[in-house]
Amino acid sequence: MAGPAIPETRVLAIASHVVHGYVGNTMATFVMQSLGCEVSAINTVNFSNHTAYKQFKGRKTPAEEITELYQGLKQSRLNDFDVMLSGYISTAEAVEAVGKIGRDLKFEAGTKPGSFFWVLDPVMGDNGSLYVGEDVVPAYKNVIIQADMILPNQYEAELLSGVKITDVPSIVEAITVLHKTYFIPHVMITSLRLDSETGKVTSESQTLTVVGSTARKDQTPRLFKITIPALPLFFSGTGDMFAALLIPRFRAAITSASLTQTQRWQSPDSVPPTSLPLAHAATLVLASMQVVLRKTLDARDVEVAELEKREAQRKEPGDEEEAARMAKDRELARTKAAEVRVVRNVGDLREPGEVERFRAEELDATGENQVEGELQSEAGEAKPDELVVLKSEGAVHATSPE
């Protein structure tokens, strides 16, 4: 099932870049181009590889250079974008620079409702730990009011809303705050470990839940959820794949619903949660991702089995130095084996299978929220990897060097 036809879409993608592998703009550009989008990319970092390898070369892009690159596009009248996707941004100054780009594009489109749309992934941290500077959080709070859609993980949603997410009522509260405080019409919280029986968020859940909402005119949420199996592998770039797939799928759904000339692509209040264009788009996105990631898992298992055969035939290390080198080689080889096979499985991006398994359900928001007071951050193990952004357990989103 391909879903509604995807209209021609010009996208400005501002995110990280790696020479090898598929994360950040390397993932997002390929995915969106595969679905027919014209993509212009500004890279916020340029690295040899993502930091799951525990070593890399390269540098961050200064805020001034991000601005300069955009100004170069603008002076040549090349800034006629329909959508902007912003992902990993390394510093508060760079967040502010990207915010100015978003505002400029919105100003340019001001007389044509619906002609420009900003999707913002507020990459800041996961599992209770930041992997950007603390000043990046208030920088994002200052710019997200300009965004039309945000894609935080649980921890990022907590940081932005000030609500500790522990159960369904607190999920509802967090999304309501994001709608009403920042006037963001579309919100999707990714990769919640939500127990379907208790309605509690728990690390023991064997599934992942994505919760989305398109606000009504009064900024109250229309909530839906999609539950998917949690795969037992550490992937890189899944958050970037999600965002990149969502843009063409959402634009197609909006076009099908005749909302492309509607301010911020908001559906009328009469549209129920599971009939929202965002819900339809997310269904296709997750169906594609599940197939690609399962095929990646299968290919990785075959490759690792071959690695283990070769390792079994090697001589024992002669000393500690050789043993350490061999251990490092094993780790690097397994990390490479887990790279997402997005190119080989491009057909699954265009034609997702088993769509019915990922149909959206309305989120039951009943119950009393027991959470009060300020956000309480669970400590969790710090993960200072510079280019690794965990969007879910065992899944890496982007690149983040500090």
DSSP string across 350-396: HS-S-GGGG--EE----S-----SS-----------TT--EEETTEE
How sure is the predictor about 2, in pLDDT bands with cuts at 50, 70 and 90?
Answer: low
How sure is the predictor about 127, in pLDDT bands with cuts at 50, 70 and 90?
Answer: confident
Which uninterrupted H or E stretch holds 222?
none
- Cβ atoms 133, 401 nearer than 8 A: no
Q: What is the pLDDT of residues 102-116, one digit of tens each?
A: 999 999 998 899 999
Average pLDDT of the segment spanning 358-362: 97
Instruction: Report yes or no on 71 lying in a domain.
Output: yes
CATH number of the domain residue 238 falls in: 3.40.1190.20
Instruction: Report yes or no on 332 lying in a domain.
Output: no
Q: What is the pLDDT of residues 288-346, one digit of tens each?
A: 999 999 999 999 999 999 999 998 888 888 788 888 999 999 999 999 999 999 999 99
Average pLDDT taken over every residue of the chain: 90
Instruction: Report yes or no on 304 lying in a domain.
Output: no
* Nearest Cα residue to 390 out of 190, 159, 135: 190
Average pLDDT of the segment spanning 249-253: 98
* Nearest Cα residue to 193 out of 227, 156, 239: 227
pLDDT greater than 80 at residue 378:
no
Q: Which residue has the higher pLDDT, 388 or 38?
A: 38
> What local confidence, expressed as pLDDT, does residue 34 receive?
98
Domains in the chain: how many in total? 1
Instruction: Report yes or no on 302 lying in a domain.
Output: no
Q: Cα 116 vs. chain centroid, distance in angstroms?
A: 20
- Cβ atoms 28, 87 nearer than 8 A: yes
- Cβ atoms 34, 10 nearer than 8 A: no
| Two tokens, residue 351 | 């034609």
Instruction: Report yes or no on 193 lying in a domain.
Output: yes
Instruction: Report yes or no on 325 lying in a domain.
Output: no
Range of 71's domain?
Answer: 10-297+348-396
How sure is the predictor about 368, in pLDDT bands with cuts at 50, 70 and 90?
Answer: very low
> What local confidence, expressed as pLDDT, does residue 1 receive?
60
Instruction: Report yes or no on 240 lying in a domain.
Output: yes
CA–CA distance, 139 with 120 (Å, rounded to integer): 13
Which uninterrupted H or E stretch holds 209?
strand 207-214
Report residue 328: phi and psi, to 5°.
-65, -45
Return all residues near 397 (Cβ < 8 A) that are at least 6 apart: 23, 87, 88, 121, 123, 153, 237, 238, 239, 240, 389, 390, 391
Average pLDDT of the segment spanning 53-82: 97
> What local confidence, expressed as pLDDT, does residue 4 receive?
82
pLDDT greater than 80 at residue 371:
no
- Cβ atoms 354, 290 nearer than 8 A: yes
